[in-house]
């Protein structure tokens, strides 16, 4: 599902999990809160899962929903973990993001509406889809198989 918004970046995303902003701040570290709830971005090439090849399922760090599988992960050399497909179409929400002076597609957890990253298409990667889900490591945790 794709929705349209002009408010990515510093505005907290809406909450489908029913938690207040205060509850999210108590549950998450300050950096997790900045990325997951305020649509921030972690620095490139520093994330925990950028180069991970471990087999398992990537879950939303905010609500534990399943998002991606390790067999959908690929090396894009962009500085963030990249996937060619989410676990299931219902696992994420895609939202038009017009922040930063450009039009991008933001990726949110469908369960709690936390910011995960962005998806890009048409970049020519040799994957089954022509998509690159560029996801912040801090937005996920890996459950090893």
Indicate which residues carry an active-site annotation.
134
Tokens encoding 3: 């929705």
Please work out, in degrees rounded to the nearest 5, the angle formed at the alpha carbon of residue 21 by the alpha carbons of 10 and 16: 90
CB of 48 closer than 8 Å to CB of 138: yes
* Torsion of Cα atoms, 3 then 86 then 12 then 138, to 10°: -160
């Amino acid at each position: 599902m794709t929705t349209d918004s002009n408010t990515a970046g510093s505005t907290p995303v809406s909450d489908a999990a029913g938690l207040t902003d205060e509850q999210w701040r108590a549950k998450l570290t300050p950096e997790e809160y900045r990325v997951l709830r305020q649509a921030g971005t972690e620095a490139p090439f520093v994330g925990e899962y950028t180069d991970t090849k471990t087999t398992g399922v990537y879950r939303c760090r905010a609500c534990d929903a399943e998002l991606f599988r390790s067999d959908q992960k690929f090396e894009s050399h962009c500085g963030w973990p990249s996937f060619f497909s989410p676990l299931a179409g219902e696992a994420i929400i895609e939202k038009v993001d017009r922040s930063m002076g450009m039009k991008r597609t933001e990726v949110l957890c469908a369960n709690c509406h936390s910011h995960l990253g962005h998806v890009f298409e048409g970049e020519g990667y040799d994957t089954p889809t022509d998509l690159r889900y560029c996801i912040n490591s801090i937005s996920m945790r890996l459950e090893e198989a």
